[in-house]
């Protein structure tokens, strides 16, 4: 995707300095385009924890490079496994992180230590290249879905979509998952409009999704998290589409806190609720998402304070609760498969069920 006309990926290895990676500091969007240079594993763990990089597929890709950085001083098996465990612990819900690290460990442990760094870079680059292709395929399958809605509406008006959090190109290496079909529909001339949930407490919707859509010229409206149900009742939502951080073998979906309530409201209003994901987001080891997916609990300060930009252009933080009130901050929730209309993957669409997933991924 492009920023001010220049094409970018969300993580890249510059040709002039290939022992490092570059990422955007996502805590500065949309006010500043700040590029960070990373060259050691501790810096990688820090940007993942602080959410300067975020979004399940991007976390996995960046962590893969982190593991390679860790091997630069010590490529031994023990260093490999220690760094792998430390990286995996940085964010517990998004399974792409574990997937990327396990893929690298499996690949590297069969390679002589002195060749591990260069082989690791190649594998991490491959994870990034594959992510771009996979998201492009998700975009094409999702585009068909939006086209079907457009045709069902007799090509009248516009297709109104609602999304939660940010599952766009900056949450992946490129394209995004839930936003890829929307970009493609817009580019194909289908008049789409997106209701963008603000997504408290980190505001990934109002800060990131609105910025992404606006940069691409996609019509959108930011709404507070509690408004979605209302717009579903007034007939202003044709489809909900979200990304995910982990899908279980039976099709339960972990995603940003608040997703479950959107799915409940969609069910009550007979509105299709679709989830877009690369297969690296499927956790085949887990079935019951509500019981078995660990939910990341983040700092209560994310709830107790808001940050934004003042009229004079300063980024500023304000407390929005009494000084001694505690806050709880689960970062994700689980939407049971029964509330999910279907899953959009790089191999096509399927039911959110064990049989549906097996039909697309028989090898699992
Ligand atoms: O806490 P975040 O911002 O990393 O959470 C991101 C989400 O919940 C996204 O919807 C999900 O990772 C899918 S990204 C393609």
Residue of 255, 263, 334, 346 to test ligand 1 pocket, by largest number of atoms within 8 Å of CB: 255
How far is the centre of ligand 1, averaged over its atoms, from the C-alpha of 285 (Å)?
21
Summary mean pLDDT of the chain: 97
Enumerate the known binding-site residues.
Answer: 54-56, 91, 204, 255-256
Please, which residues have CB within 8 angstroms of residue 290's CB and are 6 or more apart in sequence? 252, 334, 336
So which residues are the catalytic ones?
A: 245
Does ligand 1 lie within 6 Å of residue 171's CB atom? Answer: yes
How far is the centre of ligand 1, averaged over its atoms, from the C-alpha of 55 (Å)?
4
**Widest pairwise Cα distance in the chain:** 63
* Residue range(s) of every CATH 3.40.50.10470 domain in the chain: 137-360
Does ligand 1 lie within 6 Å of residue 331's CB atom? Answer: yes
Could you report the per-residue pLDDT of 291-314, keeping only the tens digit for each? 999 999 999 999 999 999 999 988
User: By CB neighbour count within 10 A (0-12 exposed, 13-18 middle, 19+ buried), where does 325 fall?
Assistant: exposed
Enumerate the known binding-site residues for substrate.
Answer: 54-56, 91, 204, 255-256
How far is the centre of ligand 1, averaged over its atoms, from the C-alpha of 241 (Å)?
13
Tell me which CATH code domain 137-360 carries.
Answer: 3.40.50.10470
Does ligand 1 lie within 6 Å of residue 167's CB atom? Answer: yes
Mean pLDDT of 136-155: 98
Residue of 54, 92, 99, 331 to test ligand 1 pocket, by largest number of atoms within 8 Å of CB: 54
Mean pLDDT of 57-81: 97
Whose CA is closest to atom 11 on ligand 1?
244
pLDDT at position 331 is: 98
Q: Report in angstroms the alpha-carbon separations of 289 from 184, 286, 358, 364.
A: 31, 7, 17, 18
CA 213/CA 181 separation, integer angstroms:
12
pLDDT at position 313 is: 87
Does ligand 1 lie within 6 Å of residue 60's CB atom? Answer: no
What confidence tier does 15 reach under pLDDT thresholds 50, 70, 90? very high
How far is the centre of ligand 1, averaged over its atoms, from the C-alpha of 312 (Å)?
31
DSSP 103-151: HHHHHHTTS-GGGHHHHHHHHHHHHHHHHHHHHHHHHHHHHHHHHHHHH
CA 101/CA 290 separation, integer angstroms:
24
Quick check: pTM over 0.80? Answer: yes
Count CB atoms within 10 A of the CB of residue 39: 13
Mean pLDDT of 71-87: 97
Does ligand 1 lie within 6 Å of residue 280's CB atom? Answer: no
Does ligand 1 lie within 6 Å of residue 92's CB atom? Answer: no
Does ligand 1 lie within 6 Å of residue 165's CB atom? Answer: yes
Q: Is the pLDDT of residue 43 over 90?
A: yes
User: Which tokens go with 235?
Assistant: 């007939």
Could you report the per-residue pLDDT of 89-124, keeping only the tens digit for each? 999 999 999 999 999 999 999 999 999 999 999 999
Could you report the per-residue pLDDT of 194-216, keeping only the tens digit for each? 999 999 999 999 999 999 999 99
Find out whether the peptide bond into 201 is cis, omega within 30 degrees of 0. yes
* Residue range(s) of every CATH 1.20.120.420 domain in the chain: 2-129
Whose CA is closest to atom 10 on ligand 1?
243
Tell me which CATH code domain 2-129 carries.
Answer: 1.20.120.420
């Amino acid at each position: 995707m492009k920023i001010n006309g220049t094409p970018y990926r969300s993580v890249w290895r510059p040709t002039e300095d290939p022992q490092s990676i570059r990422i955007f500091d996502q805590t500065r969007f949309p006010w500043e385009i700040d590029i960070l240079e990373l060259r050691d594993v501790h810096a990688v763990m820090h940007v993942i924890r602080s959410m300067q990089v975020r979004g399940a597929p991007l976390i996995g890709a960046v962590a893969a490079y982190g593991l390679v950085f860790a091997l630069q001083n010590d490529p031994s098996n023990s260093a490999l496994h220690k760094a792998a465990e430390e990286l995996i612990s940085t964010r517990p819900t998004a399974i792409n992180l574990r997937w990327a690290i396990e893929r690298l460990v499996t690949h590297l442990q069969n390679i002589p230590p002195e060749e591990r760094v260069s082989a690791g870079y190649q594998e991490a680059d491959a994870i990034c290249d594959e992510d771009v292709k996979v998201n492009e395929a998700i975009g094409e399958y999702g585009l068909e879905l939006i086209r079907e809605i457009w045709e069902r509406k007799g090509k009248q008006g516009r297709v109104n979509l609602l999304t939660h959090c940010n599952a766009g190109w900056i949450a992946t290496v490129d394209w995004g998952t839930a936003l890829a079909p929307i970009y493609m529909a817009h580019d194909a001339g289908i008049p789409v409009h997106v209701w963008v949930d603000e997504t408290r407490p980190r505001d990934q919707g109002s800060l990131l999704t609105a910025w992404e859509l606006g940069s691409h010229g996609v019509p959108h409206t930011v709404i507070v998290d509690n408004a979605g149900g209302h717009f579903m009742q007034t007939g202003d939502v044709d489809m909900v589409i979200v990304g995910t951080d982990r899908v279980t073998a039976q099709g339960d979906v972990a995603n940003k806190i608040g997703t479950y309530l959107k799915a409940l409201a969609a069910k009550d209003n007979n509105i299709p609720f679709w989830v877009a994901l690369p297969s690296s987001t499927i956790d085949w080891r887990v079935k019951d998402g509500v019981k078995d997916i660990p939910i990341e609990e983040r700092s209560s300060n994310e709830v107790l304070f808001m940050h934004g930009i003042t009229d004079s252009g300063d980024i500023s933080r304000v407390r929005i609760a009494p000084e001694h009130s505690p806050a709880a901050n689960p970062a994700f929730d689980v939407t049971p498969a029964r509330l999910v209309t279907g899953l959009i993957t790089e191999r096509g669409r399927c039911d959110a069920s064990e049989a549906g997933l097996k039909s697309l991924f028989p090898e699992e």
